[in-house]
Structure 1
Protein backbone atom coordinates (compact mmCIF):
# COMPACT_ATOMS: atom_id res chain seq x y z
CA UNK A 1 0.00 0.00 0.00
CA UNK A 2 2.86 2.37 0.84
CA UNK A 3 4.47 1.78 -2.55
CA UNK A 4 1.16 2.40 -4.39
CA UNK A 5 0.71 5.66 -2.40
CA UNK A 6 4.20 6.80 -3.38
CA UNK A 7 3.46 5.98 -7.03
CA UNK A 8 0.28 8.02 -6.77
CA UNK A 9 2.11 11.05 -5.37
CA UNK A 10 4.75 10.71 -8.08
CA UNK A 11 2.06 10.68 -10.77
CA UNK A 12 0.39 13.79 -9.30
CA UNK A 13 3.73 15.66 -9.16
CA UNK A 14 4.58 14.62 -12.69
CA UNK A 15 1.16 15.62 -14.08
CA UNK A 16 2.10 19.16 -15.20
CA UNK A 17 5.14 17.82 -17.04
CA UNK A 18 3.50 14.78 -18.60
CA UNK A 19 0.59 16.83 -19.91
CA UNK A 20 3.10 18.87 -21.86
CA UNK A 21 4.47 15.72 -23.52
CA UNK A 22 1.35 13.66 -24.19
CA UNK A 23 -2.32 14.41 -24.71
CA UNK A 24 -4.61 14.39 -21.68
CA UNK A 25 -6.65 11.58 -23.24
CA UNK A 26 -3.58 9.38 -23.69
CA UNK A 27 -2.41 10.20 -20.15
CA UNK A 28 -5.79 9.25 -18.69
CA UNK A 29 -5.75 6.02 -20.72
CA UNK A 30 -2.31 5.10 -19.36
CA UNK A 31 -3.41 5.96 -15.82
CA UNK A 32 -6.49 3.75 -16.16
CA UNK A 33 -4.43 0.89 -17.57
CA UNK A 34 -1.96 1.23 -14.70
CA UNK A 35 -4.76 1.10 -12.10
CA UNK A 36 -6.22 -2.00 -13.77
CA UNK A 37 -2.80 -3.65 -13.69
CA UNK A 38 -2.52 -2.89 -9.95
CA UNK A 39 -5.93 -4.43 -9.26
CA UNK A 40 -5.15 -7.48 -11.40
CA UNK A 41 -1.82 -8.01 -9.67
CA UNK A 42 -3.45 -7.88 -6.23
CA UNK A 43 -6.08 -10.44 -7.26
CA UNK A 44 -3.48 -12.78 -8.79
CA UNK A 45 -1.23 -12.48 -5.73
CA UNK A 46 -4.16 -13.41 -3.47
CA UNK A 47 -4.95 -16.50 -5.56
CA UNK A 48 -1.28 -17.37 -5.63
CA UNK A 49 -1.00 -17.31 -1.83
CA UNK A 50 -4.06 -19.56 -1.54
CA UNK A 51 -2.62 -22.01 -4.08
CA UNK A 52 0.77 -22.04 -2.33
CA UNK A 53 -0.92 -22.91 0.98
CA UNK A 54 -2.87 -25.70 -0.68
CA UNK A 55 0.22 -27.09 -2.42
CA UNK A 56 2.22 -26.93 0.83
CA UNK A 57 -0.58 -28.76 2.70
CA UNK A 58 -0.67 -31.54 0.07
CA UNK A 59 3.11 -31.98 0.16
CA UNK A 60 3.08 -32.11 3.97
CA UNK A 61 0.40 -34.81 3.98
CA UNK A 62 2.31 -36.99 1.52
CA UNK A 63 5.49 -36.65 3.59
CA UNK A 64 3.56 -37.36 6.78
CA UNK A 65 2.06 -40.51 5.25
CA UNK A 66 5.54 -41.85 4.53
CA UNK A 67 6.58 -41.08 8.13
CA UNK A 68 3.44 -42.84 9.38
CA UNK A 69 4.26 -46.00 7.43
CA UNK A 70 7.80 -46.04 8.86
CA UNK A 71 6.42 -45.51 12.37
CA UNK A 72 3.95 -48.36 12.01
CA UNK A 73 6.67 -50.70 10.79
CA UNK A 74 8.77 -49.81 13.81
CA UNK A 75 5.75 -50.51 16.01
CA UNK A 76 5.32 -53.96 14.47
CA UNK A 77 8.99 -54.75 15.05
CA UNK A 78 8.68 -53.73 18.69
CA UNK A 79 5.60 -55.92 19.15
CA UNK A 80 7.32 -58.84 17.43
CA UNK A 81 10.33 -58.45 19.74
CA UNK A 82 8.02 -58.44 22.73
CA UNK A 83 6.33 -61.61 21.48
CA UNK A 84 9.70 -63.33 20.95
CA UNK A 85 10.78 -62.49 24.48
CA UNK A 86 7.47 -63.74 25.81
CA UNK A 87 7.84 -67.07 24.03
CA UNK A 88 11.50 -67.43 25.08
CA UNK A 89 11.01 -66.77 28.76
CA UNK A 90 8.71 -68.80 31.00
CA UNK A 91 8.95 -66.02 33.59
CA UNK A 92 6.77 -63.83 31.37
CA UNK A 93 3.89 -66.28 31.25
CA UNK A 94 1.53 -63.63 32.57
CA UNK A 95 1.66 -61.79 29.25
CA UNK A 96 -1.42 -62.26 27.13
CA UNK A 97 0.20 -63.78 24.04
CA UNK A 98 -3.04 -64.05 22.13
CA UNK A 99 -3.77 -60.35 22.56
CA UNK A 100 -0.23 -59.48 21.49
CA UNK A 101 -0.58 -61.55 18.30
CA UNK A 102 -3.89 -59.84 17.52
CA UNK A 103 -2.28 -56.45 17.99
CA UNK A 104 0.55 -57.34 15.62
CA UNK A 105 -1.89 -58.57 12.99
CA UNK A 106 -4.01 -55.43 13.28
CA UNK A 107 -0.95 -53.22 12.92
CA UNK A 108 0.13 -55.16 9.84
CA UNK A 109 -3.28 -54.66 8.25
CA UNK A 110 -3.17 -50.96 9.00
CA UNK A 111 0.32 -50.63 7.48
CA UNK A 112 -0.92 -52.36 4.34
CA UNK A 113 -3.86 -49.97 4.18
CA UNK A 114 -1.54 -46.96 4.34
CA UNK A 115 0.78 -48.45 1.73
CA UNK A 116 -2.16 -49.15 -0.58
CA UNK A 117 -3.43 -45.58 -0.18
CA UNK A 118 -0.04 -44.12 -1.08
CA UNK A 119 0.43 -46.56 -3.98
CA UNK A 120 -2.95 -45.63 -5.39
CA UNK A 121 -2.09 -41.93 -5.34
CA UNK A 122 1.34 -42.61 -6.88
CA UNK A 123 -0.21 -44.84 -9.56
CA UNK A 124 -2.68 -42.16 -10.63
CA UNK A 125 0.17 -39.66 -10.96
CA UNK A 126 2.29 -42.09 -12.96
CA UNK A 127 -0.58 -42.89 -15.34
CA UNK A 128 -1.15 -39.17 -15.87
CA UNK A 129 2.57 -38.60 -16.49
CA UNK A 130 2.90 -41.52 -18.89
CA UNK A 131 -0.14 -40.45 -20.90
CA UNK A 132 1.23 -36.94 -21.26
CA UNK A 133 4.77 -37.94 -22.25
CA UNK A 134 3.43 -40.44 -24.82
CA UNK A 135 1.27 -37.74 -26.39
CA UNK A 136 4.16 -35.29 -26.84
CA UNK A 137 6.43 -35.39 -29.89
CA UNK A 138 10.20 -35.66 -29.64
CA UNK A 139 10.50 -31.99 -30.58
CA UNK A 140 8.00 -30.96 -27.89
CA UNK A 141 9.84 -32.99 -25.25
CA UNK A 142 12.89 -30.76 -25.74
CA UNK A 143 10.88 -27.88 -24.26
CA UNK A 144 8.73 -29.85 -21.78
CA UNK A 145 9.90 -31.59 -18.61
CA UNK A 146 7.46 -33.80 -16.65
CA UNK A 147 8.23 -35.00 -13.11
CA UNK A 148 6.41 -36.45 -10.10
CA UNK A 149 7.73 -35.09 -6.79
CA UNK A 150 6.14 -36.00 -3.43
CA UNK A 151 2.79 -36.89 -4.92
CA UNK A 152 2.58 -33.83 -7.20
CA UNK A 153 2.96 -33.72 -11.01
CA UNK A 154 5.15 -30.88 -12.32
CA UNK A 155 5.01 -29.97 -16.03
CA UNK A 156 7.73 -27.41 -16.83
CA UNK A 157 7.55 -25.55 -20.16
CA UNK A 158 10.37 -23.35 -21.50
CA UNK A 159 9.53 -19.72 -22.21
CA UNK A 160 11.00 -19.73 -25.73
CA UNK A 161 8.36 -22.32 -26.65
CA UNK A 162 5.45 -20.70 -24.83
CA UNK A 163 5.84 -16.95 -25.34
CA UNK A 164 7.02 -14.35 -27.75
CA UNK A 165 10.38 -12.90 -26.63
CA UNK A 166 10.11 -10.66 -23.54
CA UNK A 167 6.32 -10.97 -23.61
CA UNK A 168 3.51 -12.78 -21.85
CA UNK A 169 1.62 -13.36 -25.09
CA UNK A 170 1.42 -17.08 -25.93
CA UNK A 171 2.99 -18.04 -29.25
CA UNK A 172 1.23 -20.04 -31.95
CA UNK A 173 3.87 -22.75 -31.53
CA UNK A 174 2.65 -23.47 -27.99
CA UNK A 175 -0.96 -24.14 -28.98
CA UNK A 176 -0.63 -27.82 -29.87
CA UNK A 177 1.38 -28.60 -26.72
CA UNK A 178 -1.09 -26.79 -24.45
CA UNK A 179 -3.99 -28.62 -26.09
CA UNK A 180 -2.42 -31.99 -25.18
CA UNK A 181 -1.84 -30.86 -21.59
CA UNK A 182 -5.39 -29.52 -21.38
CA UNK A 183 -6.81 -32.88 -22.52
CA UNK A 184 -4.96 -34.67 -19.72
CA UNK A 185 -6.15 -32.09 -17.18
CA UNK A 186 -9.77 -32.47 -18.30
CA UNK A 187 -9.55 -36.28 -18.08
CA UNK A 188 -8.43 -36.03 -14.44
CA UNK A 189 -11.24 -33.93 -13.00
CA UNK A 190 -10.28 -34.66 -9.37
CA UNK A 191 -7.03 -32.72 -9.71
CA UNK A 192 -6.41 -29.00 -9.20
CA UNK A 193 -4.02 -27.03 -11.40
CA UNK A 194 -1.58 -24.26 -10.41
CA UNK A 195 0.15 -22.41 -13.26
CA UNK A 196 3.30 -20.70 -12.01
CA UNK A 197 5.49 -18.33 -14.05
CA UNK A 198 9.26 -18.07 -13.40
CA UNK A 199 11.91 -15.76 -14.88
CA UNK A 200 15.66 -15.26 -14.81
CA UNK A 201 17.22 -12.28 -12.98
CA UNK A 202 17.66 -10.02 -16.01
CA UNK A 203 15.56 -6.86 -15.43
CA UNK A 204 12.59 -6.45 -17.75
CA UNK A 205 12.10 -3.19 -19.61
CA UNK A 206 8.62 -3.09 -21.12
CA UNK A 207 5.72 -0.61 -20.89
CA UNK A 208 3.32 -1.44 -18.05
CA UNK A 209 5.53 -4.32 -16.80
CA UNK A 210 7.45 -3.02 -13.81
CA UNK A 211 9.67 -6.01 -13.06
CA UNK A 212 10.07 -9.80 -13.28
CA UNK A 213 7.36 -10.29 -10.66
CA UNK A 214 4.83 -8.69 -13.01
CA UNK A 215 6.11 -10.67 -16.00
CA UNK A 216 5.97 -14.03 -14.20
CA UNK A 217 2.41 -13.47 -12.91
CA UNK A 218 1.19 -12.28 -16.31
CA UNK A 219 2.69 -15.34 -17.96
CA UNK A 220 0.99 -17.66 -15.49
CA UNK A 221 -2.27 -15.83 -16.06
CA UNK A 222 -1.91 -16.09 -19.86
CA UNK A 223 -1.58 -19.87 -19.70
CA UNK A 224 -4.54 -20.15 -17.28
CA UNK A 225 -6.73 -18.10 -19.62
CA UNK A 226 -5.65 -20.17 -22.62
CA UNK A 227 -6.54 -23.40 -20.77
CA UNK A 228 -9.93 -21.94 -19.87
CA UNK A 229 -10.90 -20.01 -23.01
CA UNK A 230 -9.33 -22.10 -25.76
CA UNK A 231 -9.38 -25.63 -24.33
CA UNK A 232 -12.38 -25.61 -21.98
CA UNK A 233 -10.70 -26.37 -18.64
CA UNK A 234 -12.98 -25.52 -15.70
CA UNK A 235 -11.60 -22.21 -14.29
CA UNK A 236 -12.55 -23.27 -10.76
CA UNK A 237 -9.72 -25.81 -10.94
CA UNK A 238 -7.17 -23.24 -12.14
CA UNK A 239 -4.91 -20.82 -10.25
CA UNK A 240 -2.45 -18.37 -11.83
CA UNK A 241 0.74 -17.41 -9.99
CA UNK A 242 4.23 -16.04 -10.49
CA UNK A 243 7.49 -16.38 -8.55
CA UNK A 244 9.58 -13.88 -10.46
CA UNK A 245 13.31 -14.63 -10.46
CA UNK A 246 13.35 -16.23 -6.98
CA UNK A 247 12.60 -19.90 -7.73
CA UNK A 248 15.76 -20.81 -9.64
CA UNK A 249 16.76 -24.29 -10.77
CA UNK A 250 20.05 -23.21 -12.36
CA UNK A 251 22.74 -20.53 -12.03
CA UNK A 252 21.72 -17.19 -13.56
CA UNK A 253 25.40 -16.42 -14.22
CA UNK A 254 25.27 -18.35 -17.52
CA UNK A 255 22.97 -18.07 -20.52
CA UNK A 256 22.07 -21.77 -20.33
CA UNK A 257 21.21 -21.37 -16.64
CA UNK A 258 19.04 -18.32 -17.30
CA UNK A 259 17.26 -20.22 -20.09
CA UNK A 260 16.40 -23.04 -17.66
CA UNK A 261 15.09 -20.56 -15.09
CA UNK A 262 12.79 -18.91 -17.64
CA UNK A 263 9.96 -21.42 -17.47
CA UNK A 264 6.28 -21.86 -16.63
CA UNK A 265 5.26 -24.77 -14.41
CA UNK A 266 1.85 -26.43 -14.58
CA UNK A 267 1.48 -28.15 -11.20
CA UNK A 268 -1.22 -30.83 -10.97
CA UNK A 269 -2.20 -31.88 -7.45
CA UNK A 270 -4.85 -34.26 -6.03
CA UNK A 271 -7.68 -32.45 -4.29
CA UNK A 272 -7.20 -32.60 -0.54
CA UNK A 273 -10.62 -34.08 0.22
CA UNK A 274 -9.91 -37.02 -2.09
CA UNK A 275 -6.46 -37.49 -0.56
CA UNK A 276 -7.81 -37.49 3.01
CA UNK A 277 -10.53 -39.96 2.02
CA UNK A 278 -7.81 -42.40 0.99
CA UNK A 279 -5.97 -41.91 4.27
CA UNK A 280 -9.01 -42.10 6.55
CA UNK A 281 -10.65 -45.09 4.89
CA UNK A 282 -10.71 -47.91 7.46
CA UNK A 283 -9.04 -51.25 6.68
CA UNK A 284 -11.33 -54.16 5.80
CA UNK A 285 -12.79 -55.89 8.82
CA UNK A 286 -12.98 -52.62 10.79
CA UNK A 287 -15.00 -52.54 13.97
CA UNK A 288 -13.53 -55.62 15.63
CA UNK A 289 -11.11 -55.73 18.55
CA UNK A 290 -8.09 -56.18 16.30
CA UNK A 291 -8.76 -53.03 14.30
CA UNK A 292 -9.48 -51.16 17.51
CA UNK A 293 -6.04 -52.18 18.77
CA UNK A 294 -4.48 -50.86 15.59
CA UNK A 295 -6.33 -47.58 15.91
CA UNK A 296 -5.18 -47.23 19.51
CA UNK A 297 -1.55 -47.38 18.44
CA UNK A 298 -1.99 -44.53 15.91
CA UNK A 299 -4.04 -41.55 17.15
CA UNK A 300 -6.40 -39.98 14.62
CA UNK A 301 -4.79 -36.58 15.09
CA UNK A 302 -1.48 -38.02 14.06
CA UNK A 303 -2.98 -39.41 10.85
CA UNK A 304 -4.32 -35.99 9.91
CA UNK A 305 -0.95 -34.43 10.75
CA UNK A 306 -2.55 -31.28 12.07
Structure 2
Protein backbone atom coordinates (compact mmCIF):
# COMPACT_ATOMS: atom_id res chain seq x y z
CA UNK A 1 0.00 0.00 0.00
CA UNK A 2 2.77 2.35 0.93
CA UNK A 3 4.55 1.49 -2.29
CA UNK A 4 1.51 2.33 -4.32
CA UNK A 5 1.25 5.74 -2.68
CA UNK A 6 4.85 6.47 -3.45
CA UNK A 7 4.38 5.50 -7.08
CA UNK A 8 1.28 7.69 -7.29
CA UNK A 9 3.17 10.62 -5.82
CA UNK A 10 5.96 10.13 -8.33
CA UNK A 11 3.47 10.01 -11.19
CA UNK A 12 1.82 13.21 -9.95
CA UNK A 13 5.22 14.88 -9.67
CA UNK A 14 6.08 13.83 -13.24
CA UNK A 15 2.67 15.04 -14.43
CA UNK A 16 3.20 18.39 -12.77
CA UNK A 17 6.63 18.62 -14.34
CA UNK A 18 5.19 17.78 -17.75
CA UNK A 19 2.45 20.36 -17.34
CA UNK A 20 5.05 22.95 -16.44
CA UNK A 21 7.14 21.97 -19.45
CA UNK A 22 4.03 22.04 -21.66
CA UNK A 23 3.18 25.55 -20.48
CA UNK A 24 6.75 26.64 -21.11
CA UNK A 25 6.67 25.12 -24.57
CA UNK A 26 3.37 26.80 -25.34
CA UNK A 27 4.85 30.15 -24.31
CA UNK A 28 7.87 29.53 -26.56
CA UNK A 29 5.58 28.49 -29.41
CA UNK A 30 3.54 31.67 -28.93
CA UNK A 31 6.70 33.75 -28.87
CA UNK A 32 7.98 32.02 -32.01
CA UNK A 33 4.62 32.53 -33.76
CA UNK A 34 4.80 36.23 -32.86
CA UNK A 35 8.36 36.42 -34.16
CA UNK A 36 7.34 34.66 -37.37
CA UNK A 37 4.48 37.15 -37.79
CA UNK A 38 6.86 40.06 -37.26
CA UNK A 39 9.32 38.58 -39.74
CA UNK A 40 6.54 38.15 -42.31
CA UNK A 41 5.47 41.78 -41.80
CA UNK A 42 9.07 42.95 -42.08
CA UNK A 43 9.42 40.92 -45.26
CA UNK A 44 6.28 42.48 -46.73
CA UNK A 45 7.47 45.95 -45.77
CA UNK A 46 10.87 45.27 -47.32
CA UNK A 47 9.28 43.98 -50.52
CA UNK A 48 7.06 47.07 -50.67
CA UNK A 49 10.07 49.35 -50.16
CA UNK A 50 11.98 47.53 -52.86
CA UNK A 51 8.97 47.87 -55.17
CA UNK A 52 8.70 51.58 -54.40
CA UNK A 53 12.42 52.02 -54.98
CA UNK A 54 12.12 50.19 -58.28
CA UNK A 55 9.27 52.47 -59.37
CA UNK A 56 11.17 55.54 -58.13
CA UNK A 57 14.35 54.46 -59.91
CA UNK A 58 12.42 53.91 -63.13
CA UNK A 59 10.77 57.34 -62.82
CA UNK A 60 14.10 59.00 -62.02
CA UNK A 61 15.71 57.21 -64.93
CA UNK A 62 12.94 58.37 -67.26
CA UNK A 63 13.35 61.95 -65.98
CA UNK A 64 17.10 61.80 -66.52
CA UNK A 65 16.61 60.50 -70.06
CA UNK A 66 14.09 63.26 -70.81
CA UNK A 67 16.43 65.90 -69.35
CA UNK A 68 19.35 64.62 -71.43
CA UNK A 69 17.14 64.65 -74.54
CA UNK A 70 16.12 68.26 -73.89
CA UNK A 71 19.74 69.27 -73.25
CA UNK A 72 20.77 67.62 -76.49
CA UNK A 73 18.10 69.58 -78.39
CA UNK A 74 19.20 72.83 -76.72
CA UNK A 75 22.83 72.11 -77.57
CA UNK A 76 21.91 71.62 -81.22
CA UNK A 77 19.89 74.86 -81.17
CA UNK A 78 22.71 76.81 -79.50
CA UNK A 79 25.24 75.43 -81.97
CA UNK A 80 22.96 76.47 -84.84
CA UNK A 81 22.71 80.01 -83.43
CA UNK A 82 26.49 80.12 -82.94
CA UNK A 83 27.01 78.94 -86.50
CA UNK A 84 24.63 81.62 -87.75
CA UNK A 85 26.44 84.28 -85.73
CA UNK A 86 29.79 83.04 -87.02
CA UNK A 87 28.45 83.29 -90.56
CA UNK A 88 27.27 86.85 -89.89
CA UNK A 89 30.63 87.72 -88.35
CA UNK A 90 32.45 86.40 -91.38
CA UNK A 91 30.12 88.20 -93.76
CA UNK A 92 30.45 91.51 -91.94
CA UNK A 93 34.22 91.21 -91.71
CA UNK A 94 34.22 90.73 -95.47
CA UNK A 95 32.03 93.82 -95.87
CA UNK A 96 34.40 95.82 -93.68
CA UNK A 97 37.39 94.59 -95.68
CA UNK A 98 35.83 95.66 -99.00
CA UNK A 99 34.81 99.02 -97.54
CA UNK A 100 38.33 99.73 -96.34
CA UNK A 101 39.70 98.67 -99.72
CA UNK A 102 37.22 100.94 -101.53
CA UNK A 103 37.86 103.94 -99.27
CA UNK A 104 41.59 103.74 -98.69
CA UNK A 105 42.50 105.83 -101.72
CA UNK A 106 42.70 109.54 -100.88
CA UNK A 107 40.76 109.36 -97.63
CA UNK A 108 42.20 110.53 -94.31
CA UNK A 109 41.83 107.80 -91.66
CA UNK A 110 40.75 110.42 -89.15
CA UNK A 111 37.76 111.29 -91.31
CA UNK A 112 36.48 107.74 -91.79
CA UNK A 113 36.60 104.94 -89.24
CA UNK A 114 35.30 101.43 -89.99
CA UNK A 115 34.64 98.92 -87.20
CA UNK A 116 32.90 95.57 -86.80
CA UNK A 117 31.12 95.11 -83.48
CA UNK A 118 28.80 92.21 -82.61
CA UNK A 119 28.21 91.24 -86.25
CA UNK A 120 27.43 94.86 -87.26
CA UNK A 121 29.59 97.07 -89.51
CA UNK A 122 29.93 100.70 -88.38
CA UNK A 123 31.25 103.43 -90.71
CA UNK A 124 31.77 106.72 -88.91
CA UNK A 125 32.34 109.73 -91.18
CA UNK A 126 33.35 113.10 -89.82
CA UNK A 127 30.89 115.85 -90.68
CA UNK A 128 33.73 118.11 -91.88
CA UNK A 129 33.97 115.68 -94.79
CA UNK A 130 30.22 115.54 -95.41
CA UNK A 131 28.71 118.94 -94.60
CA UNK A 132 29.55 122.58 -94.02
CA UNK A 133 28.97 123.87 -90.50
CA UNK A 134 25.25 124.09 -89.67
CA UNK A 135 24.30 122.76 -93.12
CA UNK A 136 22.77 119.51 -94.32
CA UNK A 137 23.84 119.90 -97.97
CA UNK A 138 26.24 117.10 -98.91
CA UNK A 139 29.60 118.28 -100.24
CA UNK A 140 31.01 117.13 -103.59
CA UNK A 141 33.85 115.31 -101.87
CA UNK A 142 31.37 113.50 -99.61
CA UNK A 143 29.40 112.30 -102.65
CA UNK A 144 32.50 110.50 -103.92
CA UNK A 145 32.89 108.74 -100.57
CA UNK A 146 29.20 107.82 -100.48
CA UNK A 147 29.50 106.40 -103.98
CA UNK A 148 32.19 104.00 -102.79
CA UNK A 149 30.14 103.07 -99.73
CA UNK A 150 27.09 102.47 -101.94
CA UNK A 151 29.07 100.04 -104.12
CA UNK A 152 29.69 97.80 -101.14
CA UNK A 153 26.15 98.25 -99.76
CA UNK A 154 24.63 97.18 -103.08
CA UNK A 155 26.82 94.08 -103.04
CA UNK A 156 25.12 92.98 -99.78
CA UNK A 157 21.38 93.14 -100.66
CA UNK A 158 20.34 91.01 -97.66
CA UNK A 159 21.47 93.69 -95.18
CA UNK A 160 19.76 96.88 -94.02
CA UNK A 161 21.56 100.23 -93.76
CA UNK A 162 20.94 102.78 -90.99
CA UNK A 163 22.18 106.35 -91.41
CA UNK A 164 22.62 107.93 -87.98
CA UNK A 165 23.33 111.67 -87.60
CA UNK A 166 25.21 113.11 -84.59
CA UNK A 167 25.98 116.72 -83.64
CA UNK A 168 27.96 118.49 -80.92
CA UNK A 169 26.12 120.42 -78.20
CA UNK A 170 26.46 123.86 -79.84
CA UNK A 171 22.94 125.32 -80.26
CA UNK A 172 21.66 125.89 -83.78
CA UNK A 173 21.96 129.53 -84.92
CA UNK A 174 18.89 131.59 -84.08
CA UNK A 175 16.76 132.51 -87.06
CA UNK A 176 17.69 129.29 -88.86
CA UNK A 177 14.97 127.15 -90.39
CA UNK A 178 16.39 124.29 -88.33
CA UNK A 179 14.91 124.28 -84.83
CA UNK A 180 17.64 122.44 -82.91
CA UNK A 181 20.32 119.76 -83.08
CA UNK A 182 17.67 117.06 -83.25
CA UNK A 183 16.42 118.56 -86.48
CA UNK A 184 19.94 119.05 -87.85
CA UNK A 185 20.98 115.45 -87.17
CA UNK A 186 17.82 114.05 -88.80
CA UNK A 187 18.10 116.35 -91.84
CA UNK A 188 21.71 115.25 -92.39
CA UNK A 189 20.88 111.55 -92.17
CA UNK A 190 17.90 112.06 -94.50
CA UNK A 191 20.10 113.89 -97.03
CA UNK A 192 22.49 110.93 -97.14
CA UNK A 193 19.60 108.46 -97.45
CA UNK A 194 18.26 110.40 -100.44
CA UNK A 195 21.72 110.44 -102.06
CA UNK A 196 22.15 106.69 -101.60
CA UNK A 197 18.71 106.07 -103.08
CA UNK A 198 18.63 108.59 -105.91
CA UNK A 199 22.28 108.72 -107.03
CA UNK A 200 23.52 105.22 -106.20
CA UNK A 201 20.36 103.09 -106.53
CA UNK A 202 20.35 101.65 -103.01
CA UNK A 203 16.90 100.09 -102.49
CA UNK A 204 14.89 102.49 -100.27
CA UNK A 205 13.31 99.62 -98.30
CA UNK A 206 16.80 98.86 -96.97
CA UNK A 207 17.46 102.40 -95.73
CA UNK A 208 16.76 103.83 -92.26
CA UNK A 209 17.24 107.54 -91.43
CA UNK A 210 17.89 108.36 -87.77
CA UNK A 211 19.08 111.38 -85.77
CA UNK A 212 20.67 111.25 -82.31
CA UNK A 213 21.23 114.98 -81.85
CA UNK A 214 24.04 115.75 -79.39
CA UNK A 215 23.08 113.07 -76.88
CA UNK A 216 25.52 110.28 -77.80
CA UNK A 217 28.90 112.07 -77.86
CA UNK A 218 32.17 110.22 -78.39
CA UNK A 219 34.00 112.62 -76.08
CA UNK A 220 33.14 115.57 -73.87
CA UNK A 221 32.12 118.70 -75.78
CA UNK A 222 34.73 120.79 -73.95
CA UNK A 223 37.13 121.78 -76.77
CA UNK A 224 36.77 122.65 -80.47
CA UNK A 225 38.68 119.47 -81.34
CA UNK A 226 36.32 117.29 -79.28
CA UNK A 227 33.26 119.01 -80.71
CA UNK A 228 34.58 118.17 -84.21
CA UNK A 229 34.88 114.50 -83.20
CA UNK A 230 31.27 114.46 -82.02
CA UNK A 231 29.95 115.94 -85.28
CA UNK A 232 29.72 112.78 -87.34
CA UNK A 233 27.47 110.52 -89.37
CA UNK A 234 27.38 106.77 -88.78
CA UNK A 235 26.49 104.36 -91.57
CA UNK A 236 25.52 101.08 -89.95
CA UNK A 237 25.27 97.92 -92.06
CA UNK A 238 23.37 95.25 -90.19
CA UNK A 239 21.47 91.97 -90.74
CA UNK A 240 17.73 92.39 -91.15
CA UNK A 241 15.92 91.90 -87.85
CA UNK A 242 13.17 89.74 -89.34
CA UNK A 243 15.77 87.24 -90.58
CA UNK A 244 17.32 87.06 -87.11
CA UNK A 245 13.94 86.69 -85.40
CA UNK A 246 12.96 83.92 -87.83
CA UNK A 247 16.13 82.09 -86.82
CA UNK A 248 15.32 82.49 -83.11
CA UNK A 249 11.76 81.28 -83.60
CA UNK A 250 12.82 78.01 -85.21
CA UNK A 251 12.16 75.05 -82.92
CA UNK A 252 15.16 73.15 -81.65
CA UNK A 253 15.23 69.67 -83.20
Is the pair's TM-score, using the shorter chain for normalization, greater than 0.5?
yes
Cα–Cα, structure 1 residues 115 and 172, in superposed 2: closer, same or farther, change >3 Å? same
RMSD (CA atoms): 2.3
Cα–Cα, structure 1 residues 106 and 173, in superposed 2: closer, same or farther, change >3 Å? same
1:285-304 correspondence runs (5 A) = 286=253
1:95-106 correspondence runs (5 A) = 95-96=60-61, 99=65, 102-106=69-73
Could you state the TM-score of these two structures normalised by the residue count of structure 2?
0.68
Equivalent pairs counted in the alignment come to: 193
1:62-77 correspondence runs (5 A) = none
1:8-27 correspondence runs (5 A) = none
Secondary structure (helix, strand or coil) at the match of 1:170 reads: coil
Aligned partner of 1:168 in structure 2 is 136
Conservation of the 8 A alpha-carbon contact between 1:145 and 1:157 = yes
Within 1, Cα distance between the matches of 2:138 and 2:229? 18
From 115, 120, 140, the counterpart of 2:87 = 120
Within 2, Cα distance between the matches of 1:170 and 1:134? 23
Aligned partner of 1:178 in structure 2 is 146
From 79, 101, 104, the counterpart of 1:134 = 101
1:1-306 correspondence runs (5 A) = 94=58, 95-96=60-61, 99=65, 102-137=69-104, 139-140=106-107, 141-205=109-173, 207-281=176-250, 286=253
Cα–Cα, structure 1 residues 275 and 207, in superposed 2: closer, same or farther, change >3 Å? same
Structure 1 spans left out of the alignment, 5+ residues = 1-91, 287-306
Conservation of the 8 A alpha-carbon contact between 1:143 and 1:157 = yes
Within 1, Cα distance between the matches of 2:179 and 2:70? 63
Within 2, Cα distance between the matches of 1:192 and 1:157? 18
Deviation at 1:250, TM superposition (A): 0.7
Conservation of the 8 A alpha-carbon contact between 1:155 and 1:265 = yes
Deviation at 1:196, TM superposition (A): 1.5
Could you state the TM-score of these two structures normalised by the residue count of structure 1?
0.57
Within 1, Cα distance between the matches of 2:203 and 2:69? 49
Within 2, Cα distance between the matches of 1:106 and 1:227? 44
Greater Cα radius of gyration, structure 1 or 2: 2
Structure 2 spans left out of the alignment, 5+ residues = 1-55
